[in-house]
Amino acid sequence: MLTTLTLFTLRPGCRRWGLAQMGTSPGLLKRVAGLRFFQLLGSGAANGFGFLPNLDRYGLLAVWADEAAAAAFFNTHPLWIKYQERSHEIWTADLAPLRSHGLWDKVNPFDYQPEVPTPPTLAEPVAVLTRASIRLAKAPRFWRYVEPTSRALAQAAGVRLAIGLGELPLVRQATFSVWESAEAMQQYAYRDAGHREVIQLTRREGWYSEELFARFRVLGSTGTVDGANPLATG
């Protein structure tokens, strides 16, 4: 099995088409051979972490039966060809879960054993996905604390990419980040005061009705985000 996270930025003039796909594409994706789990995601302003939507950038999270199923979709499927034709740039990361807990729509899509011979060293890139369904009554508190903390995440030492994504505006939110190493990610998780405060508040005040955390080994990536591959070296 294989997990992929794709970010695509639409060409000028394609906003209406892109927004419409949030309603029409899921029905087509459900029929894709070998696609075990997927979420088509929108993003917010300010690299995804803003309150207002970014109608130019979207994401596709997918869990595949195998690499061949993923390759067939990204190379030949008519739906994805349409996305390619209407996108200014596309970036895809191939991921293998290292650790995951919690639920997404009542399942843990990353609860599988990848065929990866060894875990990454502390010096290899890792990716982190956090996702939550926010209780409506807690949404004002969530945005008061999480928006500035998430913006700060994008500037943290060792971050190659950080973006906010969501299934529904305001109440079903996710954050995806890529770190140059597990060590850099751990330094942020354990030492950033704002991050620790938000984690404590979510537990104490019960902000979420459902949540999931997953950490991945980054197997590779293709394409660009904002003109560059976040995992390119040199």
Query: In CATH, what number does 2-222 get?
Result: 3.30.70.100
Looking at residue 184, its pLDDT comes to 87
Spatial neighbors of 152 by CB under 8 A, at least 6 apart, are: 192, 194
pTM equals 0.89
For residue 228, the SS3 value is: strand
Overall average pLDDT of the 92-113 stretch: 94
Looking at residue 155, its pLDDT comes to 77
* Cα–chain center distance at 146: 16
Burial (CB count <10 Å: 0-12, 13-18, 19+), residue 110: buried
Looking at residue 192, its pLDDT comes to 60
The tokens describing 233, both together, are: 């070296």
Beta bridge partners of 7: 59, 91
Dump pLDDT digits (tens) for 177-219.
Answer: 999 988 888 887 766 666 566 667 677 766 777 899 999 999 9
Overall average pLDDT of the 152-177 stretch: 81
Reply yes or no on whether the pLDDT at 65 is more than 60.
Answer: yes
* Cα–chain center distance at 155: 17
Confidence of residue 44 (pLDDT cuts 50, 70, 90): confident
Reply yes or no on whether the pLDDT at 89 is more than 70.
Answer: yes
* Residue 122 CB coordination number (10 Å): 11
Domain spans in the chain, listed from the N-terminal domain onward:
2-222
The tokens describing 135, both together, are: 């209780």
Reply yes or no on whether the pLDDT at 150 is more than 70.
Answer: no
